[in-house]
Chains A and B, each alone.
Chain A
Amino acid sequence: MVGAGDNALQRPTDDEIARWYPQLFHTALRMTGSLHHAADLTQLAFCKAIDGWDRFQHQSSPTTWLHRILMNCIRDWARRNAVREVESLDEWAPRVIPAQGETAPQQVQKNEELEFLRKAIANLSDGVREAFTATVLDGYAYEDAAQLLNVPVGTIASRVYAARKQIHAVMRQAFPEV
């Protein structure tokens, strides 16, 4: 990870970018509901960040800085395309991403079970659901989620733990093989 001081002006490495990329891609995908737009917007956010890396202040983690840039890209994109929904989006609301292409037959069979699980996620309390979305769904580290949601890391850990226990209990009913 890039730190302050002598290394402050070093751009991130390929490995770091490859590690950060999926989290931001998932956020973009969840918010836009489109693989194509998610790919374009994540790429745009990363290219902007890399071009302006010397402006990165190191007061937050690179991931949270990238997240802010991505959110700006998504809002710009939504304005340009008159996507009203995205303009008013809550950053951490879990949303069902529409299926891309054809739905596999086995997916159709599972839909009822998955709906059961979606309801369980929707029924989590607000704070627990946000922590679950940021970490388990999108894949941010607990430390990054704490910065993004403006709560202590311990709170994120407790909330994710509570969410997992609730979801796992539901899964045991919905998916007997778990």
Chain B
Amino acid sequence: MEHTPESELEPRLHRLLCNDLSEDERREILRVIACNADAQQTLREMIDVQERARQAMGYPPEGEEMKTSLRKVLAHLQGLAQETPLSAPAERRTKHFGRMMYWAWRVTVGLAVAASLTLAVGLYRSQETLRQDLRRLTDTPPVAHLSAGELAEYGRILKEISDEPSRRPWMVIQNGTGRFEYLPRTTGQESGETLVLRCILLSENVPAPTTIVLVLPRDLSGRLAVGEVGKVGGLPVLADVSVRDGRVGLELSVGAGSELQGGVTGEVRIGTEPTEIGRFRANGEDQRVIVQAVSLRKGMV
């Protein structure tokens, strides 16, 4: 029977679909899905097939009957845990509570049961919730396009800082500060076009995104090791850039050496919408990397 490479991921996607993953496992697989269009397509197909097939066979949506019987099982478990710890099954001691102690114990058990029931029943996630997760993962969050004014401003800055007309500068800007350097001298034909590459690092718990702008010649040959382009959570962000066939390849990493926290590699087509190229985790925060690349003709700089 056919067994495709695609199906290697499917057991994990299936467990995600059936809510059979721990929170850490769930976060990990969602991260994989976020960066993998094939996985997104497969998961959509799996959700569609499961929903329709269950509907066809008469499986009801998760109903109150199941939740009620689950609550009774959890209450049974809580009661047992309070009375007879499994670790000492042969030594079931009789408890001699005073009246006060007895009621205090009952109240404590009641509170524990209520809390754990809320927690456990809350574990259920409907497929609609999973669809929302998928949408959240696959849709690039709304990010403003680079405006004509911003592009003109970056072009003007690059022109002003370049004091050697025979050499080609590039620059990186974060939070209003930047640095510039020159590319190595080449003998090839130069188009004179400039590329503005903006990376936005978004984190759910950090209200202000980190924005890094790279301005460099579009006809860059080979890879440009930009080095440190800014900081996230106090850690250095390092970048490598390449430009080829109308696409910009970008490799970002956070931290360095033994403190390397994570990174992302992806590419975007020049002149398209801001696009999420991936996400990574640094300092306990998920960072989404959204990139837009725009080319400026010679006369605009």
Query: Is there an interface contact between B11 and A157, defined as CB atoms closer than 8 Å?
Result: yes
Query: Is there an interface contact between B116 and A164, defined as CB atoms closer than 8 Å?
Result: no
Most buried by B among A10, A118, A135: A135
Query: Is there an interface contact between B1 and A155, defined as CB atoms closer than 8 Å?
Result: yes
The dominant DSSP class at the A interface is helix
Query: Is there an interface contact between B73 and A17, defined as CB atoms closer than 8 Å?
Result: yes
Interface residues of B in 185-217 (CB under 8 A from A): none
Given the contacts A43-B73, A50-B77, A143 and B120 also touching, CB distance less than 8 Å: no
The dominant DSSP class at the B interface is helix
Query: Which of A43, A137, A161 lies in contact with B57, CB distance below 8 A?
Result: A137
The CA-CA distance from A94 to B58 in the complex, in Å, is 10
Query: Is there an interface contact between A47 and B73, defined as CB atoms closer than 8 Å?
Result: yes
Query: Is there an interface contact between A160 and B10, defined as CB atoms closer than 8 Å?
Result: yes
Chain A interface category by residue count: 35 or more
Interface residues of B in 93-129 (CB under 8 A from A): 116-117, 119-121, 123-124
Q: Which residues of A contact B53 (CB under 8 A)?
A: 117, 121, 132, 136-137, 167
Q: Which residues of A contact B78 (CB under 8 A)?
A: 14
Query: Is there an interface contact between A96 and B7, defined as CB atoms closer than 8 Å?
Result: no
Residue of B nearest to A146 (CB): B11
Residue of B nearest to A63 (CB): B20
Q: Which residues of A contact B (CB under 8 A)?
A: 9-12, 14-15, 17-19, 21-23, 25-26, 29-30, 35-36, 38-40, 42-43, 46-47, 50-51, 53-54, 94-100, 110, 114-115, 117-118, 121, 132, 135-137, 139-143, 153-155, 157-162, 164, 167-168, 171, 175, 178
Q: Which residues of B contact A (CB under 8 A)?
A: 1-4, 6-8, 10-11, 14-15, 18-20, 22, 45-46, 48-50, 52-60, 62-63, 65-66, 68-70, 72-74, 76-78, 80-81, 86-87, 89, 116-117, 119-121, 123-124
